[in-house]
Amino acid sequence: MLPIWKPVLSDDITRKSFRNLMMIVWASWFFRADEQFKSATSSAMTRSNGQFNSIGLPIPVKIIGGVLDAMNEARVNAIQNVFSSISVTTSAFIRGTYGCCFECRSIMVGALQLEQHASGFLSLQPKSPYHKIPYIGVVNKMQAFKSPTWSDNKALPSKPKQKDSSPHECGHSSFASIFSHLNSSIQGLEVVKFVVPVTTTLKRKQTDK
Ligand SMILES: [Zn+2]
């Protein structure tokens, strides 16, 4: 494990709680409990360090494989979207849709690069399937990106002189605000989209008797 991810991984679920979580995924899928299934899949996908290859239970993967595949796909897509919002933001500053003046945009682009480097995003170049990278860790890091504090009271060429020396503020001067739209969790899956195999259903009915 690379040290850069240690702060992120402090939010990790333990192996035991992960097993319990996956047990809820399995049970809620088996008994078609939509709310519990949605909540458990959301929590597992949001906090997982990697792919769901098994549920850690003595249940053949092929029985619940469709659920695991969907969880893997949703998790990877969510992390991809979060990372892509960094490049979208950088592009917005460069093109001028974000930032109020040349200095503001330059400072924010530079800070964005520095914070990505500090978070390991540049050197690690995280790629799908984002092994050891939990969704919530990435979101937390981005929303904690340090925003530059600077004053533009010295009559910058592209801005008129301001009366006081208070820190610069504009609609895009805070990364916490820019990345506030990122969801703190991945939306859970709907149980109705996953069919319980016929043989499993029959066994369940026999057990019910
Ligand atoms: Zn500005």
How much distance in Å is there from the Cα of 3 to the middle of ligand 1?
A: 34
How much distance in Å is there from the Cα of 108 to the middle of ligand 1?
A: 9
Long-range residue pairs from 82-85, CB within 8 A, at least 24 positions apart, any chain:
82/135, 82/138, 82/139, 82/142, 82/182, 83/121, 83/126, 83/138, 85/142, 85/179, 85/182
How much distance in Å is there from the Cα of 168 to the middle of ligand 1?
A: 7
How much distance in Å is there from the Cα of 209 to the middle of ligand 1?
A: 68
Residue with tokens 């390991």: 120
Cβ(37)–Cβ(187) under 8 Å?
A: no
Cα(29)–Cα(109) distance, integer angstroms: 45
What residue type is 121 in one-letter code? F
Residue with tokens 């208070």: 166
How much distance in Å is there from the Cα of 190 to the middle of ligand 1?
A: 42
Alpha helices in 31-101 (DSSP H): 34-47, 61-95
How much distance in Å is there from the Cα of 120 to the middle of ligand 1?
A: 26
What residue type is 122 in one-letter code? L
How much distance in Å is there from the Cα of 152 to the middle of ligand 1?
A: 9
How much distance in Å is there from the Cα of 102 to the middle of ligand 1?
A: 9
3-state SS class at 208: helix
Q: List the chain pLDDT tens, one digit each, 209 residues.
A: 333 333 333 344 566 688 888 889 988 988 899 999 999 999 999 999 999 887 666 666 777 778 999 999 999 999 999 999 999 999 999 999 999 999 999 999 999 999 999 999 988 888 999 999 999 999 999 999 999 999 876 655 555 555 567 899 999 999 999 999 999 999 999 999 987 765 555 555 555 54
How much distance in Å is there from the Cα of 111 to the middle of ligand 1?
A: 13
Residue with tokens 């610069």: 168
Whole-angstrom CA distances from 202 to 11, 28, 48, 192 are 40, 17, 32, 18
3-state SS class at 12: coil
Would you state the pLDDT for residue 1?
34
Would you state the pLDDT for residue 208?
54
CA 189 to chain centre: 16
Which distant-in-sequence residues (6+ apart) come within 8 Å of 90 by Cβ?
109, 112
Would you state the pLDDT for residue 11?
43
How much distance in Å is there from the Cα of 142 to the middle of ligand 1?
A: 19
